[in-house]
Amino acid sequence: MDLHVPCMRLHQFGPVGSLPLIWEEIKIPEPGPGQVRIRIKFCGVCHTDLHTVEGEIHPPKLPLIPGHQVVGVIESLGDQAAQSSLHLGDRVGAAWLYAADGNCTYCQRGLQNLCPAARFTGFDEDGGYAGAMLAEAPFVLPLPNGISDAEAAPLLCAGIIGYRSLRQADVQPGEHVGLVGFGASAHLAIQVARYWGCEVSVFTRSAAHRQHARDLGASWVGGADESPPQLLDRAVIFAPAGALVPATLEKLRSGGTLAINAIYMSDIPAFPYRSIYGERTLRSVANATVQDGIEFLKLAEEINLKPTITLYDLADANQALMDMKHSRINGEAVLKI
């Protein structure tokens, strides 16, 4: 077995145009108690990776290997992991939530995503822009047979967090749902919303993203400064621009819910109380749980959810991040390892 694997590693924050990710060979990691080693085949590229690389959010240590939409196979089991339901050769995914303590009030309530001791893949721990990585066995997600390796990668963050966002927005079947921003997560969320019989309006600046939204069943497409013919029942903001919050609240009916799907966002400007009056709800979406992943992956196979992907070689990770930053990708970039 090769004792080293390639990776793209971050040593210093910087604009993605400065090519901050560096190609390196690292020693293949050995799993400790309760861990598995995943031989990685594909890894999705997420806006959170961009925020990390450019220093908008700060991981606890550098150097760091980003990436948290990891698809691969288990090639080694540490002690205790061998007693889990996982086996050598299993096809699995590793998502954003690397581990939670399991003992805190939040974990006991089924809210691992809010655990104060939670650790995150590609942020607290090395992630998937590499040939192999370690993962905690209880947080590894078995992948449905009906979804290909490359198409599974976007599901592990963009898909899971989009699904949680729809739920946090209190979406009910048949409602009018607004999606603000139309990148990797929204292009999967629209497929779920349409499966639930919802009418979907999409707000985005990109002409290519507007056409993509129409192709996926949006009934209305426009800019954030425009309004669909009817008020929204629910909405999710995917773009990290705080100014979109008051603009979207103006389009939301009384009693409606607006969820913000963003780990990082520019400041929300002051807005008049009337924008939220009428028992409108404004809610952030923070991370996701293992149960979210289990539910969503089952749903994705059931509805034959189809991610739109653009493949890049691992060595081109900086370019993938740059293309995502400048909205040059429909759907999601995926690194082929």
Q: What would the two tokens of residue 263 be?
A: 């780990």
Which one, of 5, 153, 151, 144, lies nearest residue 68 by Cα?
A: 153
Mind listing the pLDDT tens digit for each residue in 19-75? 999 999 999 999 999 999 999 999 999 999 999 999 999 999 999 999 999 999 999
Domain extents in the chain: 4-156+288-336, 160-285
Cα–Cα distances in angstroms (integers) from residue 186 to residues 4, 77, 123, 143, 202, in the given order: 37, 35, 23, 21, 9
The CA distance from 198 to 235, in Å, is 12
Mind listing the pLDDT tens digit for each residue in 266-288? 999 999 999 999 999 999 999 99
Exposure string of 181-218, with b = 16+ CB inside 10 Å and e = fewer, is bbbbbbbbbbbbbbebebbbbbbbebeebbebbeebeb
Mean pLDDT of 175-190: 96
Q: Label residue 1 by pLDDT band (50, 70, 90).
A: low
- Domain 160-285 = CATH 3.40.50.1000: no
Mind listing the pLDDT tens digit for each residue in 186-216? 999 999 999 999 999 999 999 999 999 999 9
The one-letter amino acid code at 280 reads R
Q: Report the CATH number of the 4-156+288-336 domain.
A: 3.90.180.10
User: pLDDT value at position 80?
Assistant: 78
Mind listing the pLDDT tens digit for each residue in 97-140? 999 999 999 999 999 999 999 999 999 999 999 999 999 999 99
